[in-house]
Structure 1
Amino acid sequence: MHRCSCYVLFIIVLTACGQPTTDVDLQRLIAADREPGNWFTAGRDLQQTYHSPLTQIHPGNAGELGFAWQLETDTVNGLEATPIVIDGVLYTSGPWGVVYAVDASNGTELWRYNPEVAGKYGRRTCCDIVNRGVAVRRGKVYVGALDGRLIALDAKTGEPVWEADTVVDPERMLTITGAPYIAKDMVVIGNSGAEFNARGYFTAYDLDTGALRWRFFTVPGDPSLPFEHEELETAAKTWDPNSLWEVGGGGTVWDGMAYDAELNLLYVGTGNATPYLRKFRSPSGGDNLYLASILAINPDTGRLAWHYQTVPGENWDYAATQKMILADLEVDGRPRKVLMQAPKNGFFYVLDRETGALLSAKPFVPVNWASHVDPDTGRPVETGQGEYFDEPKLIFPSQIGGHNWQPMAFNPATGLVYIPAMEAPMIFLNLVRGEFKYNPKRMNVGGVGVFPDLDNPDKKSRFAGARVPALSGLTAGQPDPSMHGFLRAWDPVKQAVAWEIDTSGPWEGEFPAIWNGGGVLTTAGNLVIQGYATGELKVYTADTGKLLHTIVVGSSIMAAPMTYTVDGEQYIAVMAGYGGAVGLGFFPAGSAANKYGNSGRIVAFRLGGGPVPKRPPLVHDDVIPKPPEQDVARKTKGQGAFLFAINCARCHQNNGPGVIPDLRYMSAATHEAFNAIVLEGTRAERGMAAFADVLTEEQADAIHAHLIGLAQRAWKKQQAAR
């Protein structure tokens, strides 16, 4: 069942006037620049540039930008999608895979589709129940639901046309958070779940019928079994025959793809490994193809044309799933068809997209796991600083990456790529003592990165039973560990910074700084536009980075803005809502989510618009309720801390208000119902699934004891301050 609310009369009127047609085919996409008022794909065009030819808004009038309209999404989780606008109708998606169709001229909702995903699937996510967008073609809107269904909707009514279950093995912890991509007459989708037990793959379905056309696995399965396709025989030779096949291997496809119609190649970025530590995963070594790779696929056959691996033997959660941009550049005095990517590992890559040959690769953020990428072999030259199997290491960039899912943009007039860059290290830890033990119902990463405590550099701590050494003992000879976000204008030919803006906001040096700057839009009007967790939308000149205008939106922004026209008037629109890998656990003080709340919305702007409506500031009830008394052994609380770290901490960070509750603030009723919530799933409809398959009642009691201990310390500190 699903819910689809439709404003039928309005749709009929629009249709009678010739809108919306949504009759998008490949030829129309190839000629996207002839229709600059439309935004056809997540990145506007086939090249995924996040660049618009529109010039109505420019440096001379950008200061006149103001509010045009808004639509409440009725969400409190992260909003990561960039809307699509075709013939006056805006299509986008939110958490769980809910789809919105909106009149792009005034924000009137035309229809909304809810895939009604069971709340238990929230437990299968590493980084929030987000969704990164939809695809539109041939009168249909395509979306991936969190539970693994790919759904085709009628673009005019929102009614389902077909759906396909993309999950090969329902016992595996797979989800969909990425957007579908379209190549020729196929819609292609990948899955998330590498932190758990996923074996990566992506699948092509017929646009019209949903029939499966082909499936490509990104890593081999057990080589004692038949290979699903010929590329896996080659890949298997780069893995230890005794690899941890039961864990899945990772390599999931959860974000970036692009299609070159002239070359008839679909480019797909693959994800990180499972477990992270290669000495557990593939003990004798090997490149472990096709982890952290860019794959070029012939969409007619589903076969591999070429591959380029960014991190052979991936070891740090350095996925290569980030958005890719296709462009024509002059490199070394000759024109080249290139593919550009700034993945998590910190290097900016320029590849020949016809052959996969490396043209150049340089670090765009501080990097210490590798000294450089060898231009002859195309391989990174590791320094040894990234090896943390035997002892913790301070490694740059962090597990979040030098660049994550937030889209970068390319402006052909300036020749620059605008990257929402993240400068931060982590202390990487081996969490395993003895033999690696696989658990099919929880994360199986084996190692983890922990942000260093910059305020207490001599402090030692523990995480999930592992020793976290003092930062002061790890920094010798390493880059500055303070954390910053940047809007970095990158020259891909010179492989150098042209200009940059520090986007750390009020968190300069602290880890929320890296999650302040959202995705990027650039236009032929010489503009670059970016939203921020502080609740601002800023407009810069594309050539120099001069700040032209700041709009106070009052909602935290992570997604990339986009731009379109209706009746000759140019609009800019963005989805606003905080969350994701860093923003899920708490709303940092200084963020709009902390000040005004995190109710999601789509906000549009136009020249001559007024101030953006804002909600009244929240009055935070920071009083911790007096927690229950308890007489529990220290050992039990220690066990609870360990179990909390490996089962709960990825969501419950207990640092203050956020998408996920701070459990130090549990009410007496919640304390009373704790085991029912944790073991029976009495709040599963809110995303808090049952954990009875991995926790006993005794273990749930231990977690509860740990949390009561945290609450008691915080409560006593609060009482003393009074």
Structure 2
Amino acid sequence: MSNAWRALSAVAVLGLLAAGCSKQEAAAPKASTDAGWLTGGHDQAQTYHSPLKQIDEANAGRLGYAWQYDLETTHGQEATPVVVDGVMYASAPWGFVHAVDARTGERRWVFDPKVDNSITSKVCCGIVSRGLAFAEGRVFTASIDGRLSALDAKDGKVLWQADTIVDHERGYTVTGSPYVAGDVVVIGNSGGELDARGYITAYKVSTGELAWRFYTVPGSSTGPFEHPELEAAAKTWDPKSRWDVGLGGTVWDGMAYDAKLDLLYVGVGNSALYPRKLRSPNGGDNLYVSSILAIHPKTGRMAWHYQTTPGDQWDYTATQKMILADLKIGDQTRQVLMQAPKNGFFYVLDRATGELLSAKPYVPVNWASGVDEKTGRPMETGLADYSNGPKLVFPSPAGGHNWHPMAFNPETGLVYIPTLEASAVFWVPAEPFVYAKGGANAGAMYAFPAAHAGNWGLESPAAKHLPPLSELGKGQPDTTIRGFLRAWDPVANKVVWEVETSGQWVGQMNAIWNGGGVMTTSGNLVFQGQSTGALHVYRATDGHPLAAIDIGTSIMAAPMTYELDGVQYVSVMAGYGGALGGVHPVGTAAERYGNAGRIVTFKIDGGPVPKPAEKEHVSSVPRPSVERFGSAADIETGNELLKRNCARCHANEGPGAIPDLRWMSAQTHQEFEDIVLKGVRASKGMGSFASLLTPAQAQQIRAAVVDSAWRAYESAQDLPQSAPHAPQTAPHVPATSPELPNSSKTVPGHEPSTGAAH
């Protein structure tokens, strides 16, 4: 298919002409002059920019506490609220919605989606919500189990509800925000690392009637095809592709809408399985994974598509937030779409046609030497192809930019990007891939070269065959893990200024997760929260720091601002988690004060922000509550099962809300099978894994956890490391041992991951 990744169909051209919107006539959605914040990104263009300027560079240092609101959860907060007519609507984990008086923080109503907690066995990367939508007096929200609800904005009552999941036996969940495009509301889903086949679904705003569904990848090479675009896509897949695994392409985050062009822009996620040789053995671009799609919202038909990473095998999603703007490029003002996806290139596209205008790296990249601006294709180097052995890849699967919103200020002309500089080594396990329905099915492993954690930061047997970093890193960029807030000029394609956000974690994983989402205003300001618990304010033109307000709660979400009764407020949803699960690295506010989620709101000359009470900490690694058991083979198998099924939540990196399994009490060990296979703790977020694990496999996981606990304990005590030993079956565990607290000492070592920040 010639130029398939950016072609505009003849049908689409005719549709635009019929609508009276030629390329020259169409205009960008203008930033609202409303004093509220009307979408997750403020406007339909998703700029995360407000024209308000009562708070400016001269008085930003006087920002203080106005009010706070308890979200009654310890899960991560990734959403940005909306404010309409003096009411703030905020989406929270599971799919809760809180309506709050935006002047005082007083609760108006709460919507509880009443989710069956067993869904947590299918959650890739945290029980989170990335936002909600508002239109026609309705609040639209998606619960993690895939139900889309339209709520009456006055009282939160359900006006209609739709189950958006086509197959509940597969690994589908929903963490993304709905988007309104004309008279439809559109929602995607998560699960690309499991066995989801991606799609978006549109429902009538007024009635909830199904309008259309667009699948992002075909279900077979021969059909039947749900819509014509899939027949074209199927030609870019090997007929012997792993159709049974779903192939990925989930739409778990960014969309934007241009009302003048009447086009909905959709970011599509990574392919699955990850490795090309397993997923589509004879290659191909594998449309429409890792792509940007332009969809006619009235019909659900595609106008154009652009694929950022053909044949993706590094989890390079293109689901990151997209921003619509008008830019003067050369002697023309172009209507553009901008995105900084995971693959490390910043894209500027003509949003009417999909034409590539520019694509330049904003972080170190080694998988491609650049993007051919004539064809739109990346020029792969081969340095990152791990088909025949481990390779060091830049950027890592965390991406050069993840879900954290970036912002565009039309007055400075700059895009403010929370960027991640990290590499990872990818490899295909030696064991044959076995499909697990509804389970993790990435088909590849990866590990980060984190500092102070050994050769690869891994104690797992899975990493024992990796070449040393000194070998894989020859001639490659610096592997030191860092995070930055970068101000990017999308016309000159360069960094204008940057602020390092690594904090105390340079070289460690939290260096890339310290900096949260971004908001900018016409007061020449940029706002960004950090996991340290500080809300930072910078001058938008040059990055000069103006304020840092310590709130005592870690921040990941993008802030927002609104004005009521002549007072400008800044507000942010605070709480740590997401893809990090419940791990709270030492030095974060979550580690010091706990992780009770809350909305914190500021105004000029407000007071000091109230902080939660400090947690009590245990400063040493406790002695494991049970003795080692199981053979070396059991423990090795258990480690593999642990990484595939558990590590995406239960990472061994320090204290947190989700338990570090190594420090289970004897009572918990006794109940282990009931917890894992019967879901007796589903109400706490631990659903049943009975469809994925046998009782024998559950015990192998437990044996691996116990062995890991003893290794950590022996290391902390400077004791010789013991080898795994008999007995071959788990011993009886007394039911009277007390629960041991989590350790607050970070034990070096990062388990390899098969998940991503979805």
Question: TM-score scaled by structure 1?
Answer: 0.94
Q: 2:318 matched to which residue of 1? A: 320
Q: 2:33 matched to which residue of 1? A: 34
Give the Cα separation in 2 of the matches to 1:124 and 1:621.
32
Give the Cα separation in 2 of the matches to 1:633 and 1:289.
45
Pairwise CA distance, 1:306: 0.4
Q: 2:292 matched to which residue of 1? A: 294
Q: Secondary structure of the equivalent of 1:33?
A: coil
Listed one character per residue, the Cα deviations across residues 137-180 of structure 1 (whole Å, up to 9, x for unaligned) are: 11110001000100011101011111000011122110110000
Pairwise CA distance, 1:349: 0.2
- Of the candidates 468, 486, 491, which is equivalent to residue 470 of structure 1? 468
Q: 1:394 matched to which residue of 2? A: 392
Pairwise CA distance, 1:531: 0.3
Pairwise CA distance, 1:122: 1.2
Matched ranges for 1:107-118 at <5 A: 107-118=105-116
- Of the candidates 594, 612, 621, which is equivalent to residue 591 of structure 2? 594
Q: 2:165 matched to which residue of 1? A: 167
Pairwise CA distance, 1:419: 0.1
Q: 2:220 matched to which residue of 1? A: 222
Question: Which 5+ residue runs of structure 1 have no aligned equivalent?
Answer: 1-28
* 1:95 correspondence with 2:93: yes
- Of the candidates 48, 51, 61, which is equivalent to residue 50 of structure 1? 48
Matched ranges for 1:291-690 at <5 A: 291-434=289-432, 436-455=433-452, 458=455, 463=460, 465=462, 467-581=465-579, 583-623=580-620, 624-690=622-688
* 1:119 correspondence with 2:117: yes
- Mean Cα deviation higher: 699-708 or 307-316: 699-708
Give the Cα separation in 2 of the matches to 1:711 and 1:455.
19
Pairwise CA distance, 1:46: 1.3
Listed one character per residue, the Cα deviations across residues 540-577 of structure 1 (whole Å, up to 9, x for unaligned) are: 10001000111011100000000001111000000000
Q: 1:201 matched to which residue of 2? A: 199
Give the Cα separation in 1 of the matches to 2:468 and 2:451.
10
Give the Cα separation in 1 of the matches to 2:508 and 2:458.
18
Q: Tell me which amino acid in the other structure corresponds to 1:253.
A: V
Q: 1:8 matched to which residue of 2? A: none
Listed one character per residue, the Cα deviations across residues 418-457 of structure 1 (whole Å, up to 9, x for unaligned) are: 00000000111112534x3211131111113211143356
Pairwise CA distance, 1:464: 6.8
Give the Cα separation in 2 of the matches to 1:112 and 1:710.
42
Q: Secondary structure of the equivalent of 1:34?
A: coil
Contact 2:178 2:185 in 1 (8 A): yes
Contact 1:684 1:690 in 2 (8 A): yes
- Of the candidates 149, 152, 159, which is equivalent to residue 150 of structure 2? 152
Q: 1:24 matched to which residue of 2? A: none
- Mean Cα deviation higher: 548-557 or 690-699: 690-699
Pairwise CA distance, 1:718: 4.4
Pairwise CA distance, 1:31: 6.5
Give the Cα separation in 1 of the matches to 2:690 and 2:480.
40
Alpha-carbon distance change, 510 to 461 in structure 1, aligned in 2, over 3 angstroms:
closer
Pairwise CA distance, 1:674: 1.1
Contact 1:432 1:447 in 2 (8 A): no
Give the Cα separation in 1 of the matches to 2:54 and 2:567.
8
Q: 2:723 matched to which residue of 1? A: none
Q: Secondary structure of the equivalent of 2:201?
A: strand
Pairwise CA distance, 1:701: 1.3
Alpha-carbon distance change, 176 to 50 in structure 1, aligned in 2, over 3 angstroms:
same
Q: Secondary structure of the equivalent of 1:121?
A: helix
Give the Cα separation in 1 of the matches to 2:46 and 2:287.
26
Q: 2:247 matched to which residue of 1? A: 249
Give the Cα separation in 2 of the matches to 1:560 and 1:429.
34
Contact 1:464 1:643 in 2 (8 A): no
Q: 1:23 matched to which residue of 2? A: none
- Mean Cα deviation higher: 648-657 or 397-406: 648-657
Contact 2:152 2:159 in 1 (8 A): yes
Contact 1:216 1:302 in 2 (8 A): yes
Q: Percent identity?
A: 57
Q: 1:266 matched to which residue of 2? A: 264
Alpha-carbon distance change, 669 to 460 in structure 1, aligned in 2, over 3 angstroms:
closer
Contact 2:31 2:45 in 1 (8 A): no
Give the Cα separation in 2 of the matches to 1:536 and 1:514.
16
Q: Tell me which amino acid in the other structure corresponds to 2:33.
A: R
Give the Cα separation in 1 of the matches to 2:507 and 2:455.
17
Contact 1:403 1:419 in 2 (8 A): yes
Listed one character per residue, the Cα deviations across residues 90-145 of structure 1 (whole Å, up to 9, x for unaligned) are: 00111101001000001001111110111111111111010001101111100010
Q: 1:192 matched to which residue of 2? A: 190
Give the Cα separation in 1 of the matches to 2:31 and 2:319.
25
Give the Cα separation in 1 of the matches to 2:330 and 2:145.
47
Q: Tell me which amino acid in the other structure corresponds to 1:194.
A: G
Alpha-carbon distance change, 301 to 459 in structure 1, aligned in 2, over 3 angstroms:
closer
Q: Tell me which amino acid in the other structure corresponds to 1:421.
A: T
- Of the candidates 65, 68, 71, which is equivalent to residue 67 of structure 1? 65
Question: Which 5+ residue runs of structure 2 have no aligned equivalent?
Answer: 1-27, 720-744, 746-758
Give the Cα separation in 1 of the matches to 2:128 and 2:470.
36
Contact 2:584 2:654 in 1 (8 A): yes
Pairwise CA distance, 1:646: 1.3
Give the Cα separation in 2 of the matches to 1:530 and 1:263.
32
Contact 1:194 1:272 in 2 (8 A): yes
Q: Secondary structure of the equivalent of 2:32?
A: helix
Alpha-carbon distance change, 241 to 518 in structure 1, aligned in 2, over 3 angstroms:
same
Q: Tell me which amino acid in the other structure corresponds to 1:232.
A: L
Contact 2:221 2:237 in 1 (8 A): no
Contact 1:374 1:381 in 2 (8 A): yes
- Equivalenced residue count is 691
Give the Cα separation in 2 of the matches to 1:681 and 1:543.
53
